[in-house]
Homo-oligomer: A and B are copies of this chain.
Amino acid sequence: MNEKINVAIVGYGNLGRGSELAVNQQKDMHLFGVFTRRDPASITPLFAQTRVYPDNELADLKDQIDVLVLCAGSATDLPEMTPALARDFNLVDSFDTHANIPAHFAAVDAAAKAGGRVAIISVGWDPGLFSLNRALARAVLPNGTDYTFWGSGVSQGHSEAVRQIAGVVDARQYTIPVEAAIAAVRAGETPELSTREKHTRLVYVVAAKDADTDRIEREIVTMPNYFADYDTSVRFISEEEMASEHSSMPHGGSVFRVGKTGLDGQNAQVLEYRLALQSNPEFTSSVLVAYARAAWRLSTEGASGCRTVFDIAPAYLLDMGAAEMRAELL
């Protein structure tokens, strides 16, 4: 008899591999397997014991799975996948297309309620743990100013935008927060900061052999939305240097709230939540897996419908009894 939570992973890219690692760190969880749209025979999982299934077998196995961790993209996959699966499975996803969260929430909520399941959407660090700390800080300090800084870290979206430029073989874009801005906020100041004053961008490019690097640089730094509003540096490097120096996926950032208390608002109260991550996908999937535990537990209590991080009490996330938690962590 297996009393552990049976977790299945849907999608086996960076997030899927991170979730495979994360489930194996959680003592109360058992990894049922990984589901992929690719040929399972073509996949070598990180752990030899991990079973790989074709995703069309998922529906037939629903009685053996307690909760799904969806490891697919927000752009095209999750808007269809999450509502389609939420009727039959408890699940978590990392949907992060901010403008579409209301519609995604409504679709997932309807499906989860119809099936009597619990879904937690938009889980990760931003949206996710950053959102949670924004909410906490706002609740405690209603008079205040919020700041979010991202980086230093790799932005996949910006890297991909550069790769579309003619003559670019490969590119990696780092988002870097402006340290002077962070220092001011950390000191309790509440500056008004333009886009340019908050972050800079650094792009490493592998150019094609006879490409015009001046033109490539100009196309990058003037690209609307992505780079034009920032101070951007471009460095041309070799394919070898790209592979050896820029293959990891660090990221991070800080959420601040500078609140004011006192009869005249004279006391600055600075709250900072800071992440420095050597592997962005491994951390994001670690958050997903902790919230998968909450989805499963809420489901065992009879709950159904869609949730976000705002709706989950911390106790649901931990593999620990309430009395033990009070004794060890309070």
B-contacting residues of A (Cβ < 8 Å)? 18, 21-22, 25-27, 46, 98, 101-102, 105, 122, 127, 129, 131-136, 138-143, 186, 188, 252, 259, 261-263, 266-279, 282-283, 286-287, 290, 293, 308-315, 317-320, 322-323, 325-327, 329-330
Contacts and interface: CB of A to CB of B under 8 A. Distances in A.
B276 A274 contact: no
Contacts of A143: 25
Contacts of A272: 272-276
8 contacts: A46-B263, A133-B273, A135-B315, A140-B287, A261-B282, A267-B279, A268-B278, A271-B275
* Of A26, A136, A323, most B-chain CB atoms within 10 Å: A136
A27 B153 CA distance: 39
Given A101-B327, A142-B25, A329-B135, A279 B262 contact: yes
A133 B255 CA distance: 14
Contact of A326 (B26, B27, B308, B318): B308
Contacts of A261: 18, 21-22, 25, 279, 282-283, 286
A46 B266 CA distance: 14
A318 B262 contact: no
Given A136-B317, A261-B286, 20 more contacts: A25-B142, A26-B142, A98-B330, A101-B326, A102-B323, A131-B329, A133-B273, A135-B329, A139-B314, A139-B317, A142-B319, A261-B279, A267-B277, A270-B274, A273-B273, A309-B314, A310-B325, A310-B326, A311-B314, A312-B314
